[in-house]
């Protein structure tokens, strides 16, 4: 179940206080990355390793500080976003960086293009965030909580965050 607010769609991530912009990398997470998350994060990221691939968003050149996590499952016709979460220090009024969640959803769409799924992703949203995802990401409903992002909206997201990626 996806329970993350899209605070801002940016071209990277932005320091919420200074406005400084930082390029990012999305890397495969390893068990060492996830050891630090067990107490502070909301989801059990260790469990996600058995479901699909887990990725970490980091500032370019600084791979040891995780800004957000994403778990993707290949559904053979689209990419399913199992979980996505901001680092604890990127949530709420005192967050350090904005744009983390948008960056992670854009990466999920990029993976879906790379897998030949025309950018299609799906995810289950908490009920109170369905309208938010429709407005912020252009997501559409399949049913009450199952949502998807289609090729058009995926292209917009990928072009925003991944300038050198050819769709």
What's the pLDDT tens digit per position in 47-95? 888 888 999 999 999 999 999 999 999 999 999 999 999 999 999 999 9
* For helices 100-114 and 151-161, angle between their N-to-C axes, nearest 10 degrees: 120
Q: Which fold has domain 13-161?
A: Aminopeptidase (3.40.630)
Q: Which residues contact 43 (CB under 8 A, 6 or more apart)?
A: 69, 83, 85
Residue 165: pLDDT band (50, 70, 90) is: confident
Global pTM reads: 0.92
> In the chain, where are the structural domains located?
13-161
What's the pLDDT tens digit per position in 131-161? 999 999 999 999 999 999 999 999 999 999 8
Question: Residue 167: pLDDT above 80?
Answer: no
Q: Which two tokens stand for residue 49?
A: 């390793």
pLDDT number for residue 49: 81
């Amino acid at each position: 179940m996806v329970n993350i607010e899209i605070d801002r769609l940016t071209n990277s991530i932005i320091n919420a206080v200074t406005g400084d912009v930082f390029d990012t990398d999305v890397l495969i997470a390893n068990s060492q990355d996830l050891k630090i998350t067990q107490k502070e994060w909301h989801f059990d990221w260790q469990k996600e390793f058995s479901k699909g691939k887990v990725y970490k968003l980091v500032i370019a050149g600084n791979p040891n500080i995780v800004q957000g996590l994403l778990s993707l499952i290949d559904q053979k016709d689209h990419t399913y976003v199992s979980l996505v979460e901001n680092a604890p220090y990127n949530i709420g009024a005192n967050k350090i960086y904005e744009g983390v969640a948008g960056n992670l959803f854009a990466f999920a769409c990029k993976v879906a293009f790379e897998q030949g799924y025309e950018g299609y992703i799906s995810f289950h949203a908490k009920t109170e965030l369905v309208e938010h995802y429709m407005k912020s990401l252009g997501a559409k409903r399949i049913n009450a909580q199952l949502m998807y992002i289609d090729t058009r909206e995926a292209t917009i997201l990928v072009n925003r965050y991944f300038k050198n990626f050819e769709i």
